Amino acid sequence: MSTVKIYSTPTCIYCNLAKEFFDAHKIKYENFDVSEDLKKRKEMVDKSGQMGVPVIIIVTDSGEEVIVGFQEERISKLLGL
């Protein structure tokens, strides 16, 4: 079972595409709005080294993967879709 977190903003097109993708595939995820949550914004930058969104964290049995941007093929592979 994978754990998915997404650091996003409400106006980010790619953030919304990623969330729609997760919803369509019935993937549960935790969303953090980094436009308002400064603590989560810092956490996102610490994990990814990036200020751009989305930053998606997928934790599997193999470890934690940090994905910057909506990389559908990579996400699908990590989630076994």
Per domain, the residue ranges of the chain are 3-79
pLDDT at 73 over 70: yes
Residue 60 pLDDT = 86
Residue 24 pLDDT = 97
| Residues paired with 60 in a beta bridge | 63
pLDDT at 1 over 90: no
Residue 2 pLDDT = 80
pLDDT at 23 over 90: yes
Q: Which helix (H) or strand (E) element contains residue 73? A: helix 72-79
The SS3 call for residue 54 is coil
Average pLDDT, whole number, for the chain? 95
**Which CATH superfamily includes the segment(s) 3-79?**
Glutaredoxin (3.40.30.10)
Q: What length is written for the chain?
A: 81
